[in-house]
């Protein structure tokens, strides 16, 4: 949740944050954006399988070496933060839940404006949503 909320805060795009939380593959991403998400996901779930082929794939769709370094560092940093928090049993604070709920409400308004649907709330359907 924290990753999408960071995106929400940085971009101001509530609907995109909700779509990414649900499934980034269903978004209308450019080839370069899709490659970036694939790279970050692989680095997250299978870091030992990363190779120069993954870096070259990013280059092939237009990312510079500096861009690739930034993509790698941001993904690795968020993974590091999550693992530290998980390892210490840290709970998300109420503010993050409130911000996420407010952002979802704004995303629903944006979706109505543009004739789109908001994806299901993954936290509600998983039974892990905290009421604040």
Query: Is a pLDDT exceeding 70 seen at residue 130?
Result: no
Which residue has better confidence, 2 or 61?
61
Q: For residues 56 and 68, what is the distance between their CA atoms, to the nearest angstrom?
A: 10
Q: How many angstroms separate the Cα of 112 from the Cα of each of 23, 67, 103?
A: 20, 34, 14
Dump pLDDT digits (tens) for 29-46: 899 999 999 999 999 999
pTM of the model: 0.70
The pLDDT of residue 122? 64
Q: What tokens does 5 get?
A: 């909320």
Q: Which candidate, 1, 45, 39, 47, places its Cα nearest to that of 20?
A: 1
Secondary-structure breakdown of the chain: helix, strand, coil percentages, each rounded to the nearest 5: 75, 0, 25
Query: Is a pLDDT exceeding 90 seen at residue 68?
Result: yes
Q: For residues 111 and 16, what is the distance between their CA atoms, to the nearest angstrom?
A: 10
Q: For residues 47 and 54, what is the distance between their CA atoms, to the nearest angstrom?
A: 11
């Amino acid at each position: 949740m924290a990753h999408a909320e960071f995106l929400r805060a940085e971009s101001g795009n509530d609907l995109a944050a909700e779509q990414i939380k649900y499934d980034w593959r269903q978004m209308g991403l450019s080839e370069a954006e899709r490659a970036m998400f694939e790279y970050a996901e692989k680095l997250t779930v299978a870091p030992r399988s990363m190779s120069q082929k993954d870096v070259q794939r990013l280059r092939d769709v237009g990312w510079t070496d500096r861009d690739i370094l930034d993509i790698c560092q941001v993904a690795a940093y968020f993974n590091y933060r999550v693992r530290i928090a998980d390892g210490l049993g840290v709970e998300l604070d109420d503010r993050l839940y409130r911000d996420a709920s407010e952002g979802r409400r704004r995303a629903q308004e944006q979706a109505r404006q543009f004739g789109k649907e908001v994806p299901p709330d993954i936290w509600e359907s998983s039974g892990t949503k905290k009421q604040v």
